[in-house]
Amino acid sequence: MPPRLLVVGLGNLPHPNTRHSVGHVIVDVLAALFGIHRSINRSVGGFKGRSDVLLFSDDIVSLTLFKPKLLMNIAGPSVASALHSTVKLPASMVVVHNSLDHKVKVLSVKLEGSANGHNSVRSVIDALGANADFYRFRIGIGRDRAVDPANYVLPDMPLDGLLHWNGISLDRVCHELGRIALRNRTI
């Protein structure tokens, strides 16, 4: 049986083309890349799809993609439901979210730890309780210190100007997912 991964993209459906919803963007790009059809799953409160994919080398991974329907700062219960209905183990879940503290287009991978002030990640940690040892893919969106963070992350902007999730950047996302899947094969 191939290793299983759940990739959750945090974002706000009413604000799809914003820095705030970069987690949704990554999940959408992965769905297009691997041909994963997602549909609304009312029992977990979001859009979910699954397929066996080849991430890197010759390893097949059972990949589930999930976009919570709830606003990102209260998405924790929905993410916990998706986790419990799919991979079960928090270490088999990757939560993709924006990071004001990282430079634009930088991917930072982290296992466990605090929310670092990110309300959406805090919501997920609170929903999981003591079992919050999941991976985070923090996608750098930069920060304009002269602008209120809400005014920086929420305006619509052309995504091609923000991120080019093709080539090396998307390869890095897939490579990191593959590394996590290989680690989980031994669990």
Burial class (CB in 10 A: 0-12, 13-18, 19+), 64: buried
Q: Give whole-number Cα distances, 159 to 2, 16, 101, 162, in Å.
A: 33, 10, 19, 5
Q: Catalytic site residue 118? A: no
Give the Å distances, CA to CA, from 131 to 23, 104, 125, 169: 22, 30, 8, 30
Strand 60-68 vs strand 107-111: parallel, antiparallel, or unpaired?
Answer: unpaired
**DSSP code at position 90:** G
- Residue 128: how many other CB atoms lie within 10 Å: 19
Q: If residue 167 lies in a helix (H) or strand (E), which one and from where to where?
A: helix 167-185
Q: Please state, in angstroms and as integers, the Cα–Cα distance from residue 155 to each residue in 57, 68, 132, following that order.
A: 39, 20, 31
Among the options 20, 24, 97, 118, which is catalytic? 20
> What amino acid positions are annotated as catalytic residues?
20
